[in-house]
């Protein structure tokens, strides 16, 4: 007999999906329309930089607010409903309108003062140059001479040989 671990949260998620489907069929509130929209991203790692692409359709570059720190990228903006006075209205709209913000933590520190940006066809591309990694100091330890001397110098400077 195989014991199966009960996972209550997966059961709750299944119940939520069933309830959402039921309300959608009854013409109730569409669960996707009530969720906050955030842009989909791709984060690519190269030798010299990270390349972040964000999919942001239906918005102009001037309406985006992008902030970059050494550890994260923040993308914010607002999609607005385009209203024409001669239109009668919509039968159905699955577009999402309103403010959005997405903060993307970066896996390595970057040089935020050297970021290059391009916004074309609804795709924001940021090239984020990596910080040059600190070179590890290698010290030769001579155990035969000066048994009481510290490694690396005569000035008794402590050197961490494990980092």
pLDDT(33) > 50:
no
- Topology adopted by domain 37-82+92-133: Immunoglobulin-like (2.60.40)
- pLDDT tens-digit profile of 17-31? 788 777 766 654 444
Which whole number is the average pLDDT over 87-114?
85
- C-beta separation of 52 from 126 below 8 A: yes
Q: Which region among 14-28, 59-73, 98-112, 113-127 has the lowest average model confidence (pLDDT)? A: 14-28
Which whole number is the average pLDDT over 30-39?
63
Residue 28 has what pLDDT?
47
> What is the band of 135 on the pLDDT scale with cuts at 50, 70, 90?
very low
Residue 87 has what pLDDT?
66
pLDDT(156) > 90:
no
**pTM score of the predicted model:** 0.58
- pLDDT tens-digit profile of 80-98? 777 665 667 767 777 788 8
């Amino acid at each position: 007999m195989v014991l199966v671990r009960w996972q209550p949260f997966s059961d709750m998620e299944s119940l939520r999906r069933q309830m959402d489907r039921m309300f959608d069929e009854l013409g109730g509130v569409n669960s996707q329309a009530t969720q906050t929209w955030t842009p989909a991203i791709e984060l690519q790692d190269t030798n010299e930089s990270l390349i972040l692409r964000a999919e942001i359709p239906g918005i102009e570059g001037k309406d985006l607010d992008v902030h970059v720190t050494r550890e994260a990228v923040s993308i914010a903006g607002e999609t607005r409903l385009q209203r024409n006075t001669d239109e009668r209205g919509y039968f159905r709209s699955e577009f999402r309108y309103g403010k959005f913000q997405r903060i993307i933590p970066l896996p390595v520190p970057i040089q935020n003062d050297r970021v290059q940006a391009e916004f074309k066809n609804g795709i924001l591309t940021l090239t984020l140059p990596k910080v040059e990694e600190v070179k590890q100091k290698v010290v030769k330890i001579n155990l035969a001479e000066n048994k009481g001397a510290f490694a690396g110098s005569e000035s008794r400077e402590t050197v961490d040989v494990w980092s």
